[in-house]
Amino acid sequence: MTNLLGRREERETLEHVLAGAHSGRAGVLVVHGEAGIGKTALAEHACATASRSGFRVARAVGVEAEAQFAFAGLHQLCGPMLDRASALPDPQQAALGVAFGQRAGAAPDPFLVGLAILHLLAEVAEEAPLLCLIDDAQWLDEASAQVLAFVARRVAAERLALVYAVRDSGTGDTHPFSSLPALRLEALGEKEARALLASAFHTTLDAAVCERIVAEARGNPLALLELPRSMQLAGGFELPDAASIPRRIEDSFQRRSASLPVETQLLLLTAATEPTGDVALLWRAAAHLGIEPEAAAPAENARLLEIGARVRFPHPLVRSAVYRAAKPPDRRRVHRALAAVTDPVSDPDRRAWHHAQAVLGTDERAAAELERSAGRARARGGLAAAAAFLQHAAELTPDRAVRATRALAAAHAKHDAGASEKALELLAVAAAGPLDALQHARLELLQAQIAFHTKRGSDEPKTLLEAARTLGPLDAARAREAYVQAFEASLHAGRFAARGSGLREVAKAAQDAPPPPSPPRPVDLLLDGLTTRFTHGYEASVPSLQRALEAVRHDDSGPDLDNGRWLWLGCHVSVMLWDDESFHALASRAVRLARETGALSTLPAALDVMAVYLALTGQLSRAGELLSEADAISRATGARPLPNARFLLAAWRGRQPEASDLIAAVVADATTRGEGTTLGSSQVALAYLYNGLGNYDAALAAVTPPWEYDELPHSTNAVPEFIEAASRAGEPEHAAAALAQLSSRAHASGTQFALGLAARSRALTIAGPDAEEHYHEAIERLSNCRWVPHLARAHLVYGEWLRREGRRQDAREQLRTAHQLLSDMGWEAFAERAARELRATGEHPRKRTAQPTDALTAQEVQIARLVATGATSREVAAQLFLSPRTIEAHLRNIFPKLGITSRRHLKEIPLP
């Protein structure tokens, strides 16, 4: 193909992706470069190659004017495949139906839509390999771009190739596809440029003109084809300028269109303004403008327009050139005609958009239509589209008060869509008012929430408190929620909280919160319990916080519960109360809700919390599986992986270099950001590590700050580690002071876990035979709770005490139990500590033998575990948000590692 001269390596790269997809290795490629560099030509080559190889080809083109329509690009790509949607799991079918406006329902999580698209494409690719090609992907609507980037990061073993052509912005801005495998198209070499120029023009060009074209085109293929035409139009004596090549190409298209008859120019503008390519709609608009069909011929002859089954432009730059060159009155006239002929029932949002673009100044009717479009976009899950509609509605609103109200709504939508800076700009518009008192209070609250969301620093608790106080007399329910958010912000800030905004100051201010409704919501019970905790003390707060946990565990009425908001805070409270049952229930529910609703934006955090729970119960391998899954999902959604559970896991395993490196990085980041809670968590993790290694001085130094600061929830985990470290480091007075606190709080909590820890800690501080009674109590109580590592540690310290008492035989029994439990769980440092003690008694502990499952990755273990229960590949894929073919590919790796040949053998393999 002449228009692919000099692109041999690029063709080979693309063909390699297609070959891999044909054989079941999904491939992704982002082709990017400046306008006119050959992305569209390479895309056409991909389509031709794929078609010859038996691929089904699905195409979509991003259109700048479509950017406000949620999932428009996705529907363009997948619309012809929707007959296969019935094969998807029910939640995914529902999400896709709502996103495409085909059914009513709650707005789906965008990543659930992504899962539906992933499975839909995989389903179609089962029949024949599938190429999905998206040209001008930089102009996709945000919802479509987010979904397609997610799909690209999640494909694996499907017969699927995804190719995105992206125009470089020239501003350094990133796009959702920026982290994917990329192929950059560079300028053609001089030899190829001359060959392309010669092949495109059958007449001989003057040598001087040819030299000038090659020099000015700078290797841009489209420039080589277009600049000669513009020079011929100017008689060959056009003055050179310093404009960029894409701009000069666009200028060339503008000059060519300007030479057409006036009626043809108006038809061309109408086609450029209507983004869907609907031929019938174009002719209806043309008739409304009084344009005859014959007006299309000059544009077609000039190769600026193609009208067939769809309206197409030979290059996207033609569309943008025509629209930008048009005079504003002509643009408004065309938009008005398109609004008039667009069906208000089947396509109300495009009609509203065209109507709005036709307005000069302000127009309440157009603004109200956009506001309704925003509601429809939000209902489909298109938060970015809803925000854009609302912002434009505010701009068109003539009444100042209504404009401020719409700007405030647009700011909320922008914040929900993750565009915090734009939200703050809209809040400035809303602040110009006039606003009533409630609106002003909501504005202040949103400002505080944005600050917390973007900074999570030391000043945010104070701003949230001020917003809560302002809301108090105006909106009691929202005010109480704002007080809880202030607690959350203060919890994050921890010891870094600004003066006057620590947990105790927040609690003192929350005493003035409006009374709760009857019956109180879970969030109301949490507020009252936390207020009591930091005004009247731990012991006084236990009954109210236990009621709050019970309410959070069993309440299904609030949307905030569905996104895990109060579940997260509930998990922290359950840890603070040593309530292992509530922690298990809340963490499990958070994961279950996220999986069921496909909320991949919140699932990594839920998996992170569940991993902490599993590690505390001794299931380090399973915790590692969840962390691996969380990392994979975070990468797929473009989020930053959460580090907390990973460094805790390394510390509990006793891997000092790994844990130290992770914790050092986390501490540096937390200190910079002012996140005291992360710093406290890392210090408690170090205490676990150093107590396991027997470095008690280091453990005491690490754990002292979170205990002294009485941080929520870290002081609960800190105090037993503090007592063990202090008692072994020769600091009995410090150990006794911490024991008094632990005993009082444990009896208030009343859980077997709390009382067992108190008994173990008490035994550590007592010399002589009186300690044995408390060791027995600790083992008995800890045997009745979920925290098996703490039971193992009770056996360990009891064995250590027995050895010092000279009771070697009794010591061996306890130390054997401790070593076995700790080794099986992977608490390596504590297991080695038990081994050292056993050797001191004259017994050599058994080493753990290697298992076939040691060769499996964390994800492979997770898949094997699910398949061993009898789950099908489709069921496992639905739970792990993968495709069935990917599960099958993993099983083909798992079987030889385990020395088995079928699924049924997995039931016989002991998985960690």
In CATH, what number does 852-908 get?
A: 1.10.10.10
The mean per-residue pLDDT over the stretch 258-274 comes to: 93
In this prediction, residue 746 carries a pLDDT of: 97
In this prediction, residue 878 carries a pLDDT of: 77
Q: What is the CA radius of gyration of the chain?
A: 33
Contact at 8 Å (CB) between 753 and 580? yes
Tokens, residue 339: 């609004």
In this prediction, residue 734 carries a pLDDT of: 95
Residue 758 phi, psi dihedral angles, 5° rounding? -65, -40
Q: What is the pLDDT of residues 420-450, one digit of tens each?
A: 888 899 999 999 989 999 999 999 999 988 8
CA–CA separation, 780 and 759 (whole Å): 10
Beta strands 160-167 and 27-33, pairing class: parallel
Closest CA to 355 of 368, 280, 345: 368
Highest-confidence range of 106-110, 702-706, 843-847, 903-907, by mean pLDDT? 702-706
In this prediction, residue 230 carries a pLDDT of: 57
In CATH, what number does 2-184 get?
A: 3.40.50.300
In this prediction, residue 209 carries a pLDDT of: 64
In this prediction, residue 202 carries a pLDDT of: 60
CB atoms near residue 421 (< 10 Å): 9
In this prediction, residue 541 carries a pLDDT of: 96
Domain boundaries, the chain: 2-184, 190-240, 241-341, 560-642, 645-726, 750-848, 852-908
- 239 pLDDT above the threshold of 50: no
Q: Which fold has domain 750-848?
A: 1.25.40
Q: What is the pLDDT of residues 135-164, one digit of tens each?
A: 989 889 888 998 899 899 888 888 999 999
The mean per-residue pLDDT over the stretch 194-215 comes to: 70
CA–CA separation, 31 and 14 (whole Å): 9
Contacts of 594 (CB under 8 A, 6+ apart): 564, 600, 602, 603, 606
Where residue 394 falls among pLDDT bands split at 50, 70, 90?
very high
206 versus 30: the higher-pLDDT residue is 30
The mean per-residue pLDDT over the stretch 801-814 comes to: 94
Tokens, residue 854: 């040691």
- 705 pLDDT above the threshold of 80: yes
802 versus 433: the higher-pLDDT residue is 802
856 versus 285: the higher-pLDDT residue is 285
Where residue 201 falls among pLDDT bands split at 50, 70, 90?
low
Q: Which range is least confidently modeled, 104-108, 587-591, 654-658, 818-822?
A: 104-108
Contact at 8 Å (CB) between 765 and 735? yes
Residue 514 phi, psi dihedral angles, 5° rounding? -60, 155
CB atoms near residue 766 (< 10 Å): 16
Alpha carbon 889 to chain centroid, angstroms: 26
* Backbone conformation region of residue 60, classed left if phi is above 0, alpha if psi is from -120 to 50, else beta: beta
- 339 pLDDT above the threshold of 50: yes
705 versus 909: the higher-pLDDT residue is 705
Q: What is the DSSP string of 183-200?
A: EEPPPPPHHHHHHHHHHH
- 191 pLDDT above the threshold of 90: no
The mean per-residue pLDDT over the stretch 508-524 comes to: 92
The mean per-residue pLDDT over the stretch 670-683 comes to: 85
In this prediction, residue 530 carries a pLDDT of: 96
Contacts of 729 (CB under 8 A, 6+ apart): 696, 697, 699, 700
Placement of tokens 């980037």 in the chain: 149
In this prediction, residue 238 carries a pLDDT of: 45
- 220 pLDDT above the threshold of 60: yes
In this prediction, residue 107 carries a pLDDT of: 76
